């Protein structure tokens, strides 16, 4: 078995582990169900309001917030028509316009 190069986690990894532990604790708090113990209903795994606030604050420092991103793009479409019967220059100009020279030039290379 190969030995690990790094015997300790870096700061970023430690922060992620701590954030996942906080998230698990918050889940337990949210999903806690009351249990009957000695005739009394008790809810385990509850956190105080300050603990919840502190946990959320620490999570925000480690995990990025999801944000809506709007993308605007202008799309141009080029259609190439392939015909089984070739058109003459006059037929092409009548059908597709007067700018035959611009449409018959080879496309510019992107490289």
pLDDT at 101: 55
Residue 61 phi/psi, 5° resolution? Answer: -75, -25
109: pLDDT strictly greater than 70 = no
Q: Lowest-confidence range among 5-9, 17-21, 27-31, 59-63?
A: 5-9
| 92 burial level (CB within 10 Å; 0-12, 13-18, 19+) | middle
Per residue in 9-48, is it b (16+ CB within 10 Å) or e — as a string?
eeeeeeeeeebeebeeebeebeeeeeeeeeeeeeeeeebe
- In the chain, what are the domain boundaries? 11-62
* Interatomic CA distance for residues 34 and 18, integer angstroms: 27
What is the average pLDDT value for the chain, to the nearest integer? Answer: 77
pLDDT band for position 104 (50/70/90)? low
Determine the pLDDT at residue 41. 84
In this structure, are residues 28 and 71 in contact, taking their beta carbons and an 8 Å threshold? no
Reported as a single tens digit per residue, the pLDDT across 50-96 is 888 888 888 887 777 777 788 888 888 887 777 788 888 888 788 77
pLDDT at site 31: 81
Higher pLDDT, 110 or 24: 24
Q: What is the mean pLDDT of residues 14-28?
A: 83
């Amino acid at each position: 078995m190969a030995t690990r190069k790094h015997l300790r986690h870096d700061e970023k990894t430690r922060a992620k582990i701590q954030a996942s532990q906080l998230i698990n604790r918050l889940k337990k708090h949210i999903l806690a169900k009351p249990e009957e113990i000695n005739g009394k209903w008790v809810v385990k795994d509850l956190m105080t309001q300050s603990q919840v606030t502190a946990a959320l604050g620490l999570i925000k420092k480690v995990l990025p917030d999801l944000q809506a991103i709007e993308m605007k793009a202008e799309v141009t479409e080029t259609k190439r028509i392939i015909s089984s019967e070739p058109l003459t220059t006059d037929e092409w100009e009548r059908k597709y316009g007067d700018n035959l020279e611009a449409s018959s030039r080879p496309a510019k290379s992107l490289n």
